[in-house]
Amino acid sequence: MNWETVIGLETHVELATKSKIFCGCTTRFGGAPNTHCCPVCTGMPGALPVLNQAVLEYAVRAGVALNCHITRYSKFDRKNYFYPDLPKAYQISQLYLPIAVGGRVELSTPSGTVSVGIHELHMEEDAGKLVHDPWTDQTRADYNRCGVPLIEIVTQPDFRTADQVIAYLEQLKETLQYLGVSDCKMQEGSLRCDVNLSVRPLGSRELGTRTEMKNLNSFKAIARAIDYEARRQIELLEQGGRVVQETRRWDENKDATYAMRSKEDAQDYRYFPEPDLPPIELDEGWLARLRAAQPELAPAKRARYQADYGLPAYDCQMITSDRVLAQFFEGLVELGAPAKQAANWIMGEVLGALSARGMEPREMCLSAGTLARLIALVEEGKLNRNTAVKVFEAVFDQDGDVDAYVRAHGLEQVNDAGVVQAAVERAIQAHPQSVADFRGGKEKVFGFLVGQVMRELKGKADPKLVNTLLRQVLGGT
Amino acid sequence: MKITTELIAHISQLSRLSLPEGEQAAMAAQLERIVDYMDVLSRLDTGDIEPMSHVFPVRNVLRADEEQPSCDREALLANAPARDEESFLTPKSVE
Amino acid sequence: MELRQLTALELGAVIRRGEVSVAEAAQAALAAIEAEDGALNSFITVEGERALERAAQLQPGVKEAQSPLYGVPMALKDNICTKGIKTTCASKILGDFRPPYDATVVERLAAAGALGLGKLNLDEFAMGSTSETSWYGPTRNPWDPDRAPGGSSGGAAAAVAAGLSWYAVGSDTGGSIRQPAAHCGVTGIKPTYGTVSRYGLVAYASSLDQMGPVCRDAGDCAAVLDVLQGRDRRDATSLDGDYGHLLESLSGDVRGLRVGLPAECFGDGLDGQVRQAVLAAADVLKSRGAQLVELSLPALEYGVPAYYIIAAAEASSNLARFDGVKYGWRAQGYGDLSELYHKTRTQGFGLEVKRRILLGSFVLSAGYYEAYYRKALQVKAVIKGAFDEAFARCDLLLTPVAPATAPRLGESLGDPLEMYLGDVYTVPANLAGLPGLSMPCGFDRQGLPIGAQLIGPHFGEGRLLNAAYAFQQDTHYHKQTPKGGQRA
């Protein structure tokens, strides 16, 4: 029998606010255990939550970007369950009136466009971290992460393959980073994904029994877990077995999923409206202003760069892979750099320098003004490209002054034909064998001779001029 | 409605309470009486009245996204029944 | 001068005039507690040393004091968080919990120059109507030691009635200030929901809980409420308002005031002597120019069931955090996490608390939520609507506080439903977020105090206090003391 895999995702994203969702403690990742905590986020008796307005704003921004309907009258609810990482024994979340519902995103994948429905997006608080110490057989509870704001984005079961899931997550990550609402770092847990998966005979319209997979810490783990779990369910059904609805944990080392004991307990979260938080009623004017201030997202930028600047699709993809890079590119163009030159510098030198330093674009010190000046000097013929790369390396880390550096190191391009002519002649005299080889038909030697001329001029000569004059001299004798 | 011992067992588990055997039947009987009494509410036709979770029409009570100093860790841990220098301690809670 | 006979405002005045030092006042209270509270058990924690230190600290500021309550000793119900001072909620499960922070009301009281004597007994987690469910033993009624002082703020009412504290701050979720005030012959008010910050009050039922004063008369209540009320950024349900003018607005003028008497509150189930005393109170107001309005509020019948569904549901969630991990008491002899939870909670909570947690879990659980919890929230809307209509016809309502006077100790514990039904007159104000005041209006044949309740519209505390103030101009019930004396 042919089987079809049906997948839906629940993605938790930590929002990049300064303070937690219901108190003023920092959201910074890491920190010594229990040092980013207060009575509110550790659930002390009598402490009360107050909603951080940036959380509301970020959630609405994300909802708008995912083409959701924004709920005008929204509420928080309590989700009740006992676990030591949840100090109040309830999570403040949204069940009945989530902030955004009914969205849709279009994915382009190698096998075509896929349309994915967004069931809902809601705000909630993160839980703490538990670390088990096998020596003492005790679990340590660290509440630093308690109350870090989350949005949970729940899709419809619209995925059929792991590739589609990865494409969605990449697009989601890009979108949320563009909006500036999250840094989406999977390794720090700021983007976490649970996968709901079932299988059914191809052509069937009914959904099979699904399992929920947790502990998926990378895109690679997600893809492998999907393949594993689909295979497991298909084999089970083909052998006449039955899929049990349960939560399964992905074990990275064993490359397998297994049922989680702690979730066996039939869950009944006894949701009810959070009495400590008044409802949220969104004003149309506020919403309109927020929509207007919504930044241009990557797909729109890509289309615009292709149309306005005639950049190749590949370049557009590279430059828009990060909002800071795209802004940097736009800055260069605005300051007069030719678009293609700007793109080449970003894809080559800028990304190279960042990667060599292990830095993210947002950590880069170099300003668009500095690079634009460098590009202009090359365009004006005042620096040659190779020298410009050296200048780039010199100014990159501290956003140095290009003109000052060029002056201080005497790097201006030599465009004086007389000076170049003299250097050509000196090179020819110094390498008679090479000249003879060239004239004997070894065209390759020409490059060597160009190099010698450039060396004479400390690399600063205009390469075009060197070429022309060298050919004249060699050909003319 | 009948409050069965199964129902008592279910809500006890949800509440992480374990009534001694001897108390379960009495608790079931009391809760049954109370719940039966609460059924007077069904006499009131509430139709499509909006359930009122908040008595005042207060909306959008928000705080600015500003970082405040956190609490001294020692003060937070001081009341813990089991702790080390930096964390609360529980029996094994992870898989 | 017998300091213990003075009201809080009178004591504040003599302190300000320098006739009495803050320390003398504190010592008088501490001596009285030492001598009399062994029998009464109104305090769980007495902070004698701290009180005397505080007295010394306050004394130099007496002359410049802004608040009329500066230097006046008082006490707090023990479900209000006090930094570094044991806060028990009268429960074993909180153990030796010492909050790392002060409740907002504690900060406000401190800023007004209050002097704390200690923490007062209550029903465990404020769940009860008699103050008998306390892990620290029952409080006794100063008018008759074989009787309960009412609850859950029984310690507060008993301490004030017995003259151990000039005033107290209690909490009221379904009548827990008003009913013990009635049973102990003192005056108490539950203000409009949202006017006193709940930050630092250990939550029982968050949508209904509200703190307020328990005092010797309406004037003291107004002065204390002026200190307690105010918008608090840490409590999102806290309301903006024009606070702080209650005391200065007391005039005793009730001419033209329309006092509504809901028929439902004077029918079956009400003790005849209580009915008579409350109706007599209506006549006193009438004699001062108020106008009596007969009306009917059939929705009140649904108050108790709606209240117990909502309160139990919220309690089941609010009390889930007491699990032996972060603070408080932890059971011994557990094998794993599940046993730690079960043993700690089963042994740490008393029977009434467990009953309400189970009831709350039930009304919220899958399959029952709609029929019970959601329905109760709809009934809450109906009750609020009924009050809105009533307040179109009258300015305040006058009802009994409780169907009978103080019960004998132990009498109420056998039948929880009977005890719940005793809250019939007080819970509607909590459901609708309205202010409710309890004032002494007579004594039954056994010499036990009877209370009358005034309920007002939102932000109507000034109106209630003024009506009570007027009533107390013409009556002496609030001046009686349990020892047979009469206050100044």
Q: Angle CA(C325)–CA(A20)–CA(C104) in degrees, nearest 5?
A: 70
Distance of alpha carbon B60 from alpha carbon B50, whole angstroms = 19
Domain span holding position B19: 5-43
* Residue A118 · residue A68 · CB < 8 Å: yes
Structure tokens at A12: 């938790």
Distance of alpha carbon B2 from alpha carbon A472, whole angstroms = 108
Structure tokens at C227: 């200190």
Contact C325 A268 (CB under 8 A): no
Distance of alpha carbon C202 from alpha carbon C204, whole angstroms = 7
Query: How much is the pLDDT for C329?
Result: 97
- pLDDT per position as a tens digit, C4-60: 999 999 999 999 999 999 999 999 999 999 999 999 999 999 999 999 999 999 999
Query: How much is the pLDDT for A417?
Result: 82
* Residue A261 confidence (pLDDT) above 70: no
Antiparallel, parallel or unpaired: β B88-91 and A138-142: antiparallel
Contacts of A138 in chain B (CB under 8 A): 82, 89-92
- pLDDT per position as a tens digit, C344-397: 999 999 999 999 999 999 999 999 999 999 999 999 999 999 999 999 999 999
Start-end of H helices in A24-182: 53-65, 162-179
Rounded to the nearest integer, the mean pLDDT of chain C is 97
Q: For chain A, how big is the Rg over CA atoms in Å?
A: 30
Mean pLDDT, range C256-268, rounded to an integer = 96
Residue B19 lies in a domain: yes
The owner of tokens 């649970």 is A194
The amino acid present at A297, given as its one-letter code, is: L
Residue C318 lies in a domain: no
- If you measure CA to CA, which chain C residue comes closest to A275? C207
Structure tokens at C383: 């009750």
User: Which residues are bridge partners to A114 per DSSP?
Assistant: A107
Residue C7 burial by Cβ neighbours in a 10 Å radius (0-12, 13-18, 19+):
buried
Contact A19 B68 (CB under 8 A): yes
Query: How much is the pLDDT for A445?
Result: 86
Selection from C173, C190, C85 nearest residue C126 by Cα:
C173
User: Domain holding C212: CATH number?
Assistant: 3.90.1300.10
Closest Cβ opposite residue A19 in set B65, B77, B95: B65
Contacts of A80 in chain C (CB under 8 A): 316-317, 320, 364
User: Which residues are bridge partners to C75 per DSSP?
Assistant: C168
* Residue A362 confidence (pLDDT) above 90: no
* Residue C151 · residue C188 · CB < 8 Å: no
Which of A37, A262, A272 to probe the C interface (max C CBs under 10 A)?
Answer: A272
Query: How much is the pLDDT for B82?
Result: 96
Cβ-based neighbours of A204, under 8 Å, separated by 6 or more = A4
Q: Is B68 on the interface with C (CB under 8 A)?
A: no
Q: Is A48 on the interface with B (CB under 8 A)?
A: no
Which of A249-258, B51-60, C83-92, C224-233 is least confident? A249-258
Residue B73 burial by Cβ neighbours in a 10 Å radius (0-12, 13-18, 19+):
middle
* Residue C484 confidence (pLDDT) above 80: no
If pLDDT is split at 50, 70 and 90, which confidence band does A354 have?
very high
Residue A123 burial by Cβ neighbours in a 10 Å radius (0-12, 13-18, 19+):
buried
Give, as one character, the DSSP assignment of residue B48: T
Structure tokens at A226: 């999907």
Closest Cβ opposite residue C233 in set B30, B44, B63: B63
Contact B53 A85 (CB under 8 A): no
Contacts of B71 in chain C (CB under 8 A): 100-101
Query: How much is the pLDDT for C455?
Result: 98
Q: Other CB atoms closer than 10 Å to residue A361's CB: what's the count?
A: 17
Note the pTM of the prediction, 2 decimals. 0.91
Mean pLDDT, range A155-169, rounded to an integer = 96
Query: How much is the pLDDT for A265?
Result: 58
> What are the phi and psi torsion angles at C356 (to 5°)?
-70, -35
Query: How much is the pLDDT for C279?
Result: 98
Contact A43 C365 (CB under 8 A): no
Structural domain count of chain C: 1
User: Domain holding B21: CATH number?
Assistant: 1.10.20
Query: How much is the pLDDT for A262?
Result: 56
Q: Distance (Å) from the C-alpha of residue C463 to the closest C-alpha of chain A?
A: 27
Distance of alpha carbon C440 from alpha carbon A20, whole angstroms = 48
- pLDDT per position as a tens digit, C298-357: 999 999 999 999 999 999 999 999 999 999 999 999 999 999 999 999 999 999 999 999
Residue C108 lies in a domain: yes
Q: For chain C, how big is the Rg over CA atoms in Å?
A: 21
Task: Judge whether C77 counts as a catalytic residue.
Answer: yes
SS3 per residue for chain C: CCHHHCCHHHHHHHHHCCCCCHHHHHHHHHHHHHHHHHHHCCEEEECHHHHHHHHHHHHHHCCCCCCCCCCCEEEEECCECECCECCCCCCHHHCCCCCCCCCHHHHHHHHCCCEEEEEECCCHHHCCCCCCCCCCCCCCECCECCECCCCCCHHHHHHHHCCCCCCEEEEECCCCCHHHHHHHCCEEEECCCCCECCCCECCCCCCCCEEEEEECCHHHHHHHHHHHECCCCCCCCCCCCCCCCHHHHCCCCCCCCEEEEEHHHHCCCCCHHHHHHHHHHHHHHHHCCCEEEEECCHHHHHHHHHHHHHHHHHHHHHHHHCCCCCCCCCCCCCCCHHHHHHHHHHHHCCHHHHHHHHHHHHHHCCCCCHHHHHHHHHHHHHHHHHHHHHHHHCCEEEEECCCCCCCECCCCCCCHHHHHHCCCCCHHHHHHCCCEEEEEEEECCCCCEEEEEEECCCCCHHHHHHHHHHHHHHCCHHHECCCCCECC
- If you measure CA to CA, which chain A residue comes closest to C87? A45
Residue B72 lies in a domain: no
pLDDT above 90 coverage of chain A, percent: 70
Structural domain count of chain B: 1
- If you measure CA to CA, which chain C residue comes closest to A140? C325
Cβ-based neighbours of C214, under 8 Å, separated by 6 or more = C153, C156, C157, C160, C167, C168, C169, C170, C177, C180, C181, C186, C187, C188
Selection from C187, C478, C218 nearest residue C488 by Cα:
C478
Q: Angle CA(A266)–CA(A269)–CA(A273) in degrees, nearest 5?
A: 165
The amino acid present at A82, given as its one-letter code, is: F
Distance of alpha carbon A408 from alpha carbon A118, whole angstroms = 58
If pLDDT is split at 50, 70 and 90, which confidence band does B57 have?
confident
Q: Is B70 on the interface with A (CB under 8 A)?
A: yes
Give, as one character, the DSSP assignment of residue A348: I
Distance of alpha carbon A118 from alpha carbon A106, whole angstroms = 11
Cβ-based neighbours of C238, under 8 Å, separated by 6 or more = C194, C195, C197, C198, C231, C232
Residue B22 lies in a domain: yes
* Secondary structure element (H or E) that encloses residue A289, with its range: helix A284-292
| Strands, sheet with C291-295, edge to edge from the N-terminal-most edge strand | C43-46, C115-120, C73-77, C168-172, C210-215, C187-190, C436-443, C449-455, C396-400, C258-262, C291-295
Give, as one character, the DSSP assignment of residue B83: B
Selection from A215, A207, A121, A112 nearest residue A167 by Cα:
A112
Q: What share of chain A is helix, strand, coil (3-state, %, to 5)?
A: 40, 20, 35
Candidate list C42, C91, C134, C152, residue with the active-site label: C152
What are the C-alpha distances in Å from A128 to residues A89, C295, C461?
12, 54, 43
Contact B52 C330 (CB under 8 A): no
Q: Angle CA(C205)–CA(C207)–CA(C213) in degrees, nearest 5?
A: 80
Domain span holding position C470: 3-263+391-479
Which of A97-101, A368-372, A461-465, C121-125 is least confident? A461-465
Q: Is A39 on the interface with B (CB under 8 A)?
A: yes
Residue C228 lies in a domain: yes
Distance of alpha carbon A338 from the chain centroid: 26
Candidate list C67, C171, C176, C197, residue with the active-site label: C176
Contact B18 C193 (CB under 8 A): no
Distance of alpha carbon B23 from alpha carbon A471, whole angstroms = 107
If pLDDT is split at 50, 70 and 90, which confidence band does A403 have?
confident
Q: Distance (Å) from the C-alpha of residue C366 to the closest C-alpha of chain A?
A: 6
Contact A88 C321 (CB under 8 A): yes
Chains contacting B (3+ CB pairs below 8 angstroms)? A, C
Query: How much is the pLDDT for A281?
Result: 97
pLDDT above 70 coverage of chain A, percent: 98
Contacts of C102 in chain B (CB under 8 A): none
Residue B24 lies in a domain: yes
Class of the domain covering A417-476? mainly alpha
Contact B62 A25 (CB under 8 A): no
If pLDDT is split at 50, 70 and 90, which confidence band does A110 have?
confident
Distance of alpha carbon A342 from the chain centroid: 21
Query: How much is the pLDDT for A477?
Result: 45
The amino acid present at A464, given as its one-letter code, is: K
Cβ-based neighbours of A273, under 8 Å, separated by 6 or more = A75, A76, A77, A78, A96, B51, B53, B54, C377
> What are the phi and psi torsion angles at A92 (to 5°)?
-80, 120
Residue B93 lies in a domain: no
Task: Judge whether C207 counts as a catalytic residue.
Answer: no
Closest Cβ opposite residue C201 in set A46, A141, A272: A46
Mean pLDDT, range C254-264, rounded to an integer = 98
Residue B14 lies in a domain: yes
The amino acid present at A416, given as its one-letter code, is: D
Residue C46 lies in a domain: yes
Selection from C118, C34, C106 nearest residue C78 by Cα:
C118
* Residue A298 · residue A178 · CB < 8 Å: yes
Residue count of chain A: 477
Query: How much is the pLDDT for C483?
Result: 82
Distance of alpha carbon C462 from alpha carbon C222, whole angstroms = 8
Contacts of C346 in chain B (CB under 8 A): 17-19
Rounded to the nearest integer, the mean pLDDT of chain B is 93
- pLDDT per position as a tens digit, A39-55: 999 999 999 999 999 99
b/e code A26-54 from CB counts within 10 Å (16+ = b): bbeeeeebbbbbbbbbbbbbbbbbbbbbb
Residue B32 lies in a domain: yes
Distance of alpha carbon A311 from alpha carbon A408, whole angstroms = 35
- pLDDT per position as a tens digit, C191-237: 999 999 999 999 999 999 999 999 999 999 999 999 999 999 999 99
Q: Is A50 left (phi over 0), alpha (psi -120 to 50) or beta?
A: beta
Distance of alpha carbon C382 from alpha carbon C432, whole angstroms = 9
Q: Distance (Å) from the C-alpha of residue B20 to the closest C-alpha of chain A?
A: 21
* Residue C135 · residue C92 · CB < 8 Å: yes
Contacts of B8 in chain C (CB under 8 A): 358
Query: How much is the pLDDT for A419?
Result: 84
Give, as one character, the DSSP assignment of residue A350: I
Q: Is A75 on the interface with B (CB under 8 A)?
A: yes
